Structures are given as C-alpha cells and as structure tokens.
Structure 1
Amino acid sequence: MGKKPTHANKKGKVSSFIKSPLRCPSGKSRAVSQIIDKIYPKRITCPLLTFCCWWLNRIGTSKQRNYGLCITDAFEPLVHFWQVLLKNAPYLAEVVRQYEQMTPNMFYNLQKTFFALNDSVEIAAAFFALNRSSFSGTTLSGGMSLGHPRFTQSSIEKLKEFSAKNITVDLADFKISIARHANDFLYCDTPYLITQKLYGKKVTNI
C-alpha cells in the first residue's frame, strides 16, 4: 500500500484529509471543510454513517478523529468501485490502464455497454475511467471531456496509491442504512430525483 496522501490548502498548510479519486458533478466539494469542521461532532465514539455518499471529496482520517466510517449508497456501480478500491487499489489501477488512451468512440461505447459488465473489478475500472473522462465527472450521463485532462497517468498513479483505514462501503438505501445505525451520528446526502439522469439509470424510488 502507498503512503497516506496529504494535501496542501491555499495557505500552504498540509491537510490530513484523504481526497477521493472520483470527480464530483456538483458543488458539494466546496462545503466539505464546513461539514467536517462545523457539523461533525468533534468527538464521535460510534461509527459514522454517510448515506448516498456519492462523491464526498475528503474523508477524515482515524489519525484526526477516533471513529470508523460506514458509507452506504443505493447505486451498485459506485459501491463496487469503493469496495474494489479499498480492497486492492494497485490491482484496480492496473485494470484501469486499459482505458488510458480513451477515445470518443471508446468512451461512448463504454457508456452504452457499462451495465452489461458483471465483474466487480471491471465495473470499478470502467466507472473510474468514465468518471475521470467525462465532463464535470458526470460519468454515465454526460459527454466526454475533450482530451480528458482529468484522466491521466497521474490520476491512475494516485488511484494506485490510495489508502484509507477504518472505512466500510455497503450497498443499501436509506430505508435500510438509517435503521442499522439508529444510534449513530448520520450524514445523509440528498438523493437525486428519479427524473434526473446523473446516474445514467433510474436507481432511486422516491
């Protein structure tokens, strides 16, 4: 496993938060520092559950905060990505390299055939490649970003070096996940409406 990544903020201070390898098709990442520093209790003795945690851009490390992190989501490909990444990031990065020379034809064909994939690692690799190659990280619903400047050798190397402890990711919607963690601190991300196409497939039933 690679070294735990650190990131410098605008003031040059090193952050001990782990940055997600996925791109976020919304403005949620701008609120991360407020969520982490102001909303989360400073001391949590039970696991933290984040429901529908699509793109939480930075995750508090166990070094800073004494809790485990339980992430659940109703979108199976996203869950596959995180589970494979946490289990074997170097192997996932190697599988991703088959898409390194992404062309428009490759991109749109992969979008069309994505839900026919049935191997967890292949699903995770394709999901990452589409996410990093798509405009604003829209993955399965958006167009290809010209030249895919966010899907590079550097992004694959960062994927290979990704490491996070005390994190579990499970497939479950809020009706199941909240009941499982009734006495825990919950961060519940707003699910997307059925008419929206961010997922590329209807996965919510509101």
Structure 2
Amino acid sequence: MDDTIRQYERDEDYLKDFLKKIKNKNGSYKRICISPIRYAGGKSKAIGLILENLPKLKEKKIVSPFFGGGSVELCLSSMLGIEVIGYDVFNMLANFWNVLIHHKEDFINELKKFEITQEEFTYNRHVLLNYWDKIKPVDLHYKTKNKIELKEEDLTKLDNNAINQAVYYYYNMTLSYGPMFLGWPSSNEINKDKFKRRIEKIKELNLINLQVSCSSFEDILENHANDFLFLDPPYYLNGDSKMFKGMYPNCNFAIHHNNFDHIKLADMLKKHEGGFIMTYNNCSKIRDLYEDCIFVFPEWQYTYGQGETRIGKNRQKNTNNNIKESHEIIIIKWAKQ
C-alpha cells in the first residue's frame, strides 16, 4: 500500500493526546501496568508503540482473538473508549475475565477469604487441579504426583461455579513462580501486603466497553471477517526464533501453545479484509508468512522467562538491571478499502 493512503488512528485528537501523556522525554513510552494478572509475554511495555502504529479505525471497535493478560485491550477499552470484543481459547482464563467484568465484587469477597501462606497455596492448588482433571482437553496427557487428600466439600467446590473457578485460578496464577497455570509457589509472591495491593488494583479496574468469551481463532476470524483485529498469538519457537524456549513448556501445562498452527493463522489473516495489528516474535519464518504486510521492529524488554534468580533480583532491589531484551515484531495490515 502506498504511504500516501495509509492513515493512522494516532492522528485523531484523543489518541494523539494519550500518546503525548505516556511518552518519556527520551521518546520511549511508559509502561502501563493495567492488567490485574501476571502473564507470560504481557504487553504492558509495548502499549504505546502498538497504539502509535494502529491503523485508522472505521469504527471504535477492535476484536482480540488472543486476549491473554489483556494489557492492550484494557487500555483500549477503559482509557480510550474503544469497544473491545475479546476471546481466549483457554476456558479458565476466559472465565476469569468474564467473572471480573460481571461479578467483580463477588470475586473480591471470595478472594479475601484466602490465607496467603505456602500451605494454603498448596492445598488450593490441588483443589484447582482436581477440577482441572475433570475438564482438561482429552489430548492433554500428564501425571500428577503426590496428590493430597481434599475435604469432601472441596472435591466439587469448583463444579458449575464460575466465580470459584475464577478465584482459584487467580489465586494460583498470582502466587505462582512464573506466572503459570497450576504453577508452584513463588517466595516473591506469597506476601500478604503484596496480595492486598493486588486486590486494591482489582477494585480500581474500570471494566467498560469490554467483553471476553472462550473461542478458537478459527471461529473468531470467520465470525469477524470485516472487523479490525489486535492479535498477540503464541510465539513461534522453532527455526531461528530467539524467544526463550521454556516460555510455554515452562508453564507446566502448555495447553494451547504446543502445536499451535501458525501457518493456518497466517493463511486466514491473508484473507481477512478488516485489517489488523499483531505482535509476534521476530524470526525468518514469521517474516516470510507475512511478507505482504508492514513490519515495525520495536525495542522493549521482559523480565519473564529468565529464571527465579534474575527476576528475584529485580524485585528485591527494585531495579531493571537484570532484564531480557525482546525479539519481537509488529505486523500491520490495513483494512480493505
């Protein structure tokens, strides 16, 4: 597409003003820590650059097929007034967001009942694991060692109870090393004062212009053929990818990231007429798959996937000296005129 007919949303006054507010003196953008969950590959540092490259929207609506930690989506919906229709294929995560949007007060009240100790964490992890055994994908094979005995009432505590499912999911993920689903306890996170601050952050969330459901990207792209998309798919971890190989396998249950069909996603996006902006890891395979799109090569950094020692040093010393540079790319396709 000729540069003269490319139009950006950043030229609209509301976004121009917002970008000005979050820009540092050195030209970089501030991190916007809006998501209530710690999430692998979260985009809190990338929000400014993503918004700067956002194509002109036909309407103030964006569809997100890979909602994940929701940093970009929450900024769009609560700070910029853009309607966000979000999805995630992981049912536990989609349920968490849905409960938070519609039952936030009940969620907080249940969350406050938990003790923040390693013993409580371990017991609650097995309550969650007991439920997960009932609903996990049939092709996900694993063996859990050293299961503990649960109280009779806890064997069905999460069955048909969306709020309890969301609370146990959040409690486990927030206090885990990683973070990861059904992860192990983190000495950095099992902290009563820190947990209280996290609850206060949830209270302050303004969850407007937002909905989240569980669905696959195949169904989403078919049902939103003419809508503009923001996509943050699982990383491509083969070939010359420089992404940390343990990012997904390290998450205990690589539920929907192992064997992700990157080629099918690319084929569907080639036919998508609504336009999109997407974050991916920068490697030759991904550049080849999207060779007809526009590439932006950002610079931001993650502390995820570096090991407990390096992350712990950052948090204990309140510094970012122990960081991992990203190897990412922003991919843009304008909507069909």
Do they fold alike, i.e. is TM over 0.5? yes
Partner of 1:145 in structure 2? 187
Matched, 1:154 2:197: yes
Determine if the alignment matches structure 1 residue 200 to structure 2 residue 249: no
Contact kept, 8 Å, 2:42 with 2:69, in 1: the verdict is no
Q: Is the 8 A contact 1:43 1:65 kept in 2?
A: no
Give the counterpart letter for 1:102 in structure 2. I
Partner of 1:129: 171
Q: C-alpha displacement at 1:88, in angstroms?
A: 2.1
Counting aligned pairs with the same residue, the percent is 23
Misfit runs of 4+, over 4 Å? 8-12, 61-66
Give the Cα–Cα distance (whole angstroms) in 1 for the partners of residues 199 and 57 of structure 2.
34
The CA deviation at 1:63 is 7.2
User: Quick one: distance in 1 between partners of 2:169 and 2:58?
Assistant: 32
Kept in 1: contact 2:99–2:166 (CA 8 A)? yes
Q: Could you tell me which residue of structure 1 aligns to residue 11 of structure 2?
A: none
Report the CA distance between 1:124 and its aligned residue. Answer: 0.9
Q: What is the letter of the counterpart of residue 199 of structure 2? A: I
- Could you say which residue in structure 1 is the equivalent of 2:36? 21
Contact 2:67 2:232 (C-alpha < 8 Å) held by counterparts: yes
How does the TM-score come out when normalised to structure 1?
A: 0.78
In structure 2, the partner of 1:52 is 66
**Aligned AA (1:158):** K
Instruction: Structure 1: state its 5+ residue gaps.
Output: 1-7
- Calculate the aligned-residue CA RMSD, in Å: 3.1
C-alpha displacement of 1:190: 1.6
Q: Is the 8 A contact 1:135 1:144 kept in 2?
A: yes
Matched with 1:4 is none
* Alignment partners' CA distance in 2, 1:31 and 1:48: 17
Question: 1:45·1:66 contact (CA, 8 Å) conserved in 2?
Answer: no
Unaligned runs of 5+ in 2: 1-20, 132-157, 237-247, 261-337
Q: Return closer, same or farther for 1:106/1:44 CA change in 2, 3 Å cut-off.
A: farther
Amino acid at match of 1:198: C
Bigger-Rg structure (1/2): 2
Q: What is the aligned length?
A: 194
**2:111 corresponds to which of 83, 96, 102:** 96
Distance 1:110 1:29 in 2: 29
Structure 1 counterpart of 2:231, from 180, 183, 188 = 188
When normalised by structure 2's length, the TM-score is 0.50
Q: Equivalent residue of 1:112, what SS?
A: helix
Q: 2:65, 2:43 → 1: CA distance?
A: 14
CA distance in 2, matches of 1:140, 1:63: 29
109, 114, 123: which one aligns with 1:109: 123
Task: Name the stretch that deviates more: 20-29 or 48-57.
Answer: 20-29
Distance 1:29 1:18 in 2: 6
Pair 1:63–1:82, CA change in 2 (3 A): closer
Mapped partners of 1:154, 1:196: distance in 2: 30
Q: Which amino acid is 1:144 matched to?
A: S
Cα-to-partner distance string for 1:44-88 (whole Å, 9 max, x where unaligned): 406311122111324234576453101100111111110010002
From 193, 197, 207, give the equivalent of 1:164. Answer: 207
Question: Match of 1:3?
Answer: none
